[in-house]
Structure 1
Amino acid sequence: MNENQEIKLIRTATDMLERAYVPYSKFPVGASLLTKEGTVYSGCNIENASFGLTNCAERTAIFKAVSEGEKNFEYLVVTGDTDGPISPCGACRQVMAEFFSPEMKVLLTNRKGQKQETTVQELLPGAFTSKDMV
């Protein structure tokens, strides 16, 4: 991941904050997902009055990419208006474990420009995967 790609991914994720549909929580989150082929998929959180039907930005980007046939992912950026770098929820971490390699890099950011790079494995150690279902 070079610096120009990272800047573009952060900008894309930040732009998604404006598209978030968050009338209840007022907590917009944006994400951008880079495939190994160089395609970028973006997502924002989309709330619903029945809160269980809300979809997070990370899962929106992942599901959008998977629905388009993508399966090879390289890097995910997640951002929000938080005090420190944003932290994905448990559901998003589980979906990441399903579609990303444990070593895939994930950059957590915020509007202040703070960054924390981590991996899927670090976000969800001991993840339940398809290997556990045999």
Structure 2
Amino acid sequence: MLRQLDCRINAHARPLINRDFCHLSRSTEAREAISAMLPRRLNEELLYARAVSAMQLAQPIKSAFKVGAAALIRDAANHRYIISGYNTEYVNNDSTHAEESLTSKLRPGDRLELVTVVGQNGEPLTPCGNCRELLSSWATDRAEVLVTKREEQTVWQPLHVLLPKALPNTHNLADLPHQQQELLLAAKAIMAGAYIPYSGEAKGAAIMTANGLLIVGSPREDAAYHNIHALEAVLVQSEVLRERDIKEICLVGSGEYGLPYMPCGRCLQKVYEAAQICGRERSLVVLLMNPRNHLVWQTTIDQLLPLPFGPKDLGIDVGRFLV
């Protein structure tokens, strides 16, 4: 198993993964020891072993799918150390992902360098969109994640490649087909009056279904900062209407430098789920527009969320929910 990883912990690495070391790994001496002793290859092997160890502590009371994660951290003093985490699920169907558990242990000045996530069969898992966003918030510019590509090849991938922050080509709204213009302008219109008392960042989203129905949604914030994003709102609205055959989806918001606003990983994960329901996990059209200058990015969900994690990875066929 995992021939590409060759995760056989050799005699030099074994003493570093025992229980005593796990408890000592935050000490200055232990961090310096890792930095001085372990080359990249041994760090990779140690990360895999720590992720597998963490996975044994997982508590997935709903899905029964255990996940463990481990990360190599560089702290503010330029020392390295390793932390790990595991997934936990709750009776209300919420959950804490392994990556969320892991990042809760970070301290000011800490930065992620390498991240490994494994499932209960020992195979590396590519983080979901939500966790990619979370990891990006703590990552160095050169951070990498162990991923499994579609051809089952396990490789290290730059984190920024898994969650693009910009697209190469822009279009003008006036140059798009009429139906796409209508979709984007509807999303822009719903921005007015959105309930955003905390961020003040208005956004609007819209969906065009295969039968030509246009659905809109806007964000809703709350004081606990468990906000509903615009794309989430429009997907919920389409669910209420049982309109799951989505042809195109758009988000309108102001990004940096006059560019369109790029959806966060959490929203992209939900869009990808919707795309799998209607069988468009590679072809669902996503339009992004800046409301001030009407610059537009046109792309597809597989470009915004490469190497995605979805229901098919859990062996679940959600196509039966297409109504």
TM-score (structure 1 length as normaliser): 0.79
- Does residue 17 (structure 1) correspond to residue 55 (structure 2)? The answer is yes
Moved runs in structure 1, 4+ residues, more than 3 A?
A: 81-85
* Corresponding letter in the other structure for 1:100: A
Distance 1:102 1:124, change over 3 A: farther
Q: Which stretch of structure 1 is more off in the superposition, 81-90 or 34-43?
A: 81-90
- Does residue 58 (structure 1) correspond to residue 96 (structure 2)? The answer is no
Aligned to 1:89: 128
CA RMSD of the aligned region, Å?
Answer: 2.4
Q: Which stretch of structure 1 is more off in the superposition, 85-94 or 19-28?
A: 85-94
Aligned to 2:84: 42
Report percent identity of matched pairs.
28
Aligned to 1:5: 43
CA contact (8 A) 1:29 1:78 kept: yes
Unmatched segments (≥5 aa) in structure 2: 1-38, 167-254, 258-323
Deviations 1:35-73 (A, max 9, x none): 122211100001111223x1100111112123xx45222
Distance (whole Å) between structure 2 residues aligned to residue 84 and residue 3 of structure 1: 18
Distance (whole Å) between structure 1 residues aligned to residue 56 and residue 155 of structure 2: 22
Deviations 1:94-114 (A, max 9, x none): 1112111343111136xxxx6
Unmatched segments (≥5 aa) in structure 1: none
* Corresponding letter in the other structure for 1:26: A
Report which structure shows greater RCO (CA 8 Å, sep ≥6): 1
Distance 1:107 1:21, change over 3 A: same
Distance (whole Å) between structure 2 residues aligned to residue 63 and residue 70 of structure 1: 13
Aligned to 2:34: none
Which is higher, the Rg of structure 1 or of structure 2?
2
TM-score (structure 2 length as normaliser): 0.35
Distance (whole Å) between structure 2 residues aligned to residue 119 and residue 70 of structure 1: 21
* Corresponding letter in the other structure for 2:142: E
Structure 1 position 82, deviation (Å): 5.7
Distance 1:83 1:73, change over 3 A: closer
